[in-house]
Structures are given as structure tokens and as C-alpha cells.
Structure 1
């Protein structure tokens, strides 16, 4: 999770460094400020500390990142709701990462748990994804005022369908590089990872579907449209409700498996006849 957040922060920095020359100066992104670099360094430090087994250090830095979002981004909920909503999934992932690192667990190095190859794949996946997204952006038909005939898919753009397919294949490979090592973890660990990530996925789905009309209206109106109370309640409640539901399902599943195993053990010990 910290790797994903570090990769996201790195992409944000690259977006500001690699400026579209076709844009007028007043529409170009400013250069990365100290907060952008601090965010990148902070989540990279969290990932590194977690990898080497320094969970307490990683948790402290992760909670500092959560507090930074609340202090710097949170106040914009009234006058910049679009930016707040756009970064809300990252904030949820940061809370999940900080919470997971805070839970008591034996200090173990990631390389001993995953192995060097799987750990390298986990790191390479997000880095490769960021590289592909930036390559797509700077080679986009729209970058530099190129031709307007292009293929588009969820923010990706290319001059032809085969090129788009290559980008999608590369991103799929980056995703597999992360998913395959996780799938080889013990089932109990995999279930807990799903429970941790489910609130973030649910929040992203709500933003992408339930707030799609609001986001489109905000872009076309040219000014911020405040969210109503019901929309804020949905954004606030969906992650914890999803998390609690996942915890209950995992507990019920594991308790059922434990009872079944106990019953089988009793049957084996019972004398025949």
C-alpha cells in the first residue's frame, strides 16, 4: 500500500516536471513544491521502513502523512471539493496503510516473508505502471498540440488501437507483477489483504459511479459545486461499513473452517464400530 502511495506521489511530481509545451503558460502545472517532494519522500520512507521490518517507524511516518492530508487538503472540502474527492481514495489507502502498520505484529523483514524475487516484483509493478502512464502522457496525441484523432480509455490516449492495446497490456503486466506474489501468500493473509483494500475499492467505485454526474457538472460549470450532506455521508460511511462487513465475513469463514476441522479431528479419534 505504501508502495502504491509512493508511486502515486512520484507520478504527481513527474506530471509537474514534464509539462505539455502546447499549453499556454497560465494553464501549465507549476513546478513541484516542497510538499510534493515531502509526500514522495515520506511514502517512500514508509515503504522502505516496512520492507526492512521497522513497523513502528513506518507507522509514525504513515500517520504523519494522514495528518498532512487532513491539514492541507481537508479544509478545501468547501471551496475545492473536486480536489478533495479526487484524492479521497489516496487518503483512504493512507489510513489503511497506517492502521495496518500500527497493529501489533512481530517485526519481520519483507524479504524473508516474500522472498527476494517476489519483493522485487512488488516494487517493480508500481514503478512500471507509473513509467507507462507518464510515457503515455508525453506521447499522447494531445501532448504538444498533435492531431486530434486518437484512441482514449480511462485517461489513456494513443494514435491507434494497437498502440492502446500495448499500453493496456503493459499495465496489466504491472498489475500481475503485484498480484501474483500476493496470491502466493497464505490464505489467511490474502483474506486480510482483501479486507483492508475493500474499503478503498468501494470508495473509488462510489466516486466513479455515484459522483460521476457531479464531477461532470463541476467541470462544465467552471466553478465548484458543493456536495450535499447525503453525498458526504456516503463518502464517509462507505469505507468503514465495507471494512466491518469484510471483518465479519472473514471471522465467520474462519470460524466455520475451524469448527469443521475440529469435527473432523473428533471423527478421526472416535473408535470404529
Structure 2
């Protein structure tokens, strides 16, 4: 009975506690748990299980929080911030180009100011002035948050279309706030990767802008093909446009994918919240957006929708941190095992 109960306690500890904590305290914890067990007890009590789960979660998240101070997280934050700032700058420049090239009103002063603000963030970040770059980023995000709140009062659906860029701006500002060696992002990425990433963004925006310029020619009774916002008068033309966008997208993804493994994993964990927020808006709020288009007054998000929209990305980041630490723990254990196998025969 004692062996069965001890094995089940060990299983609980293995599930809920990080390896580093178990290595130091597992024997002592098991001794306390077994000393308090009843005679003939076969299963952990509900009280012990709740205490182990609660304390284990606090220990795991505490270890994850301590690990966030590691140099690899600071490097990943710097890289993510620089690439995110380039994405936001490309969006602002693309909006201005649309107003200049397509029929319609000229770019507003607000559009110019937003583009200039993100240009300043990118330039200062590349120069290595992290504190100034973080300050510019936070001021820009604060101004865009005010614009978002004002637009949400009158046009909530249109405002939610800018929520993901706003969340990305917060990520950029937070990434620049974390202390990192001067110009570390530039050292990790290199000018070649930055040029590839910027060219990929320019290609995607250029394809869509050029496609919009020729849209009117497709509405004169001719057949046309539409997919993901791109339109063409022929099937082959549509495939060509999609191919250009796909190549540019793959090139952009290869930029972080070719970084060192510790940085690459952490960049993915940092970008995960943005992907979750985009998925929630595109898939989870489509019914809400449809209702807004058919009602005579704005319909605002319910509190539970705001909770999902904000808590989902935070949970995605927490899960990403835990996954990264788990993967690195497995790699360390494999390395220890391989080292033991190599040195074992030598001792014999």
C-alpha cells in the first residue's frame, strides 16, 4: 500500500512541479506526505492534491517569471520589437500610399503623424537607443489607444479592425522596454535579414495596392476571380498574385526562423498572443460584426467578449513561456544523458 501511495504522490509532483524544484525538495515533500497518510491509504487525499496542484502552479509560474529575466528572453524581445515596428511602419506607409494612388481623399495629418512616429521608433531602435525607442513607442501606442477609443464609440467594427495593430504596438513597446545589450537586435538579425523582411512587407503591400488600382477594370461585365482580397480577370493572374504574396510571406517567416534556437522559440512565444487576438477577432466576432452592419445603431462588445479578447492572448503567452521552458528542460536532460553515456565507459 505504501509503495502504491508513494508512486501516486510522485506522479502528482512530476506533473505539477518543475524538475529543478523536485530535484531539491521531492524527497522531503514525499516524507511529509507519507508521514501524514492514513493506514491503508491508497490514493492522495483531496486536500493534499489541491495543495500540491496550487503550490505546484505557483512554483511553475514563479520559475517561468524568473526565467523571463534570462538573456535569451531579452534578445527575443528586442528582435520581436524591431520586426513588429517594421510591420507597423509598413502598414502606415501602405495606408498613405493608398490615399495617394487610389481615388479619394488625401492622407490625413493623423496618418502622416502615425507613419512618422513608427519611422522614429524603427530608426532609434536601429541606432541602439533603447530607452528613447521605448519612450517613442509607448507615446505612439498611447496616442493610438486614444484614437481607438474614440473610433470605437461611433464605429466599433471599424475600430476592432485596428485592435491587432494596437496590440502589436503594445508588444513592440514592451519588448523595447526590457533591458538588452545595445543594438542586440541588429546584431542577431543582421542587415541582410532586415532587408529581406522589409522587402517582403513591401512586396505584400505593393501587390495589394497595385491590385486595388486595377479593380475598376474588372467590374465592366467581364468575369473575374477573387481570393483573400486579391482580384484578377483570369485564373492564372490570380495564381500569380497569390504566388507573389506567398513567396513574400515565406521570406518574412524565414527571418525569425533562421535565428538561434533559444531566440527563435521565444520570438514564437511572444508573437503567439497577436495570432490569438487576430483569430478571436476574425472568427469569434464575425457574428457581432455582421449584426452591427444590419442594425441602425452601434452594438458594443459584451464584457465577456472583452475578457476573451484580452485573456486569450495573455494565456497564449503564458502557455508559450511554459512550452519553451519545457522544451529546453527536455534538451538539457537529453544532453545530460548523452554526456553520462559518453563518460560511463571511460570510468569502467
Give TM-score scaled by structure 2 length.
Answer: 0.70
Q: Where do residues 61-80 of structure 1 align in structure 2 (5 Å cutoff)? A: 61-80=136-155
Matched, 1:48 2:123: yes
Matched, 1:199 2:273: yes
3-state SS in 1 of match to 2:347: coil
Range 115-124 or range 204-213, more displaced: 115-124
**Other-structure match for 1:231:** 305
Count of matched residue pairs: 264
Q: Where do residues 80-229 of structure 1 align in structure 2 (5 Å cutoff)? A: 80-108=155-183, 110-141=185-216, 146-147=220-221, 149-221=223-295, 223-229=297-303
CA offset digits 1:223-254 (Å, max 9, x no partner) = 42222222122112111111111111111221
- Structure 1 148/224 Cα, relative in aligned 2: closer, same or farther at 3 Å? farther
CA distance in structure 2 between the aligned counterparts of 1:11 and 1:222, rounded to whole angstroms: 32
Check the 8 A contact 1:17/1:32 in 2, yes or no: yes
Matched, 1:16 2:138: no
Check the 8 A contact 1:66/1:94 in 2, yes or no: yes
RMSD: 2.1
Check the 8 A contact 1:141/1:150 in 2, yes or no: no
Instruction: List gaps (5 residues or longer) in structure 2.
Output: 1-83
Check the 8 A contact 1:202/1:242 in 2, yes or no: yes
Instruction: List gaps (5 residues or longer) in structure 1.
Output: 21-27
Matched, 1:57 2:132: yes
- Structure 1 162/111 Cα, relative in aligned 2: closer, same or farther at 3 Å? same
Deviation at 1:110, TM superposition (A): 4.8
Range 175-184 or range 200-209, more displaced: 175-184
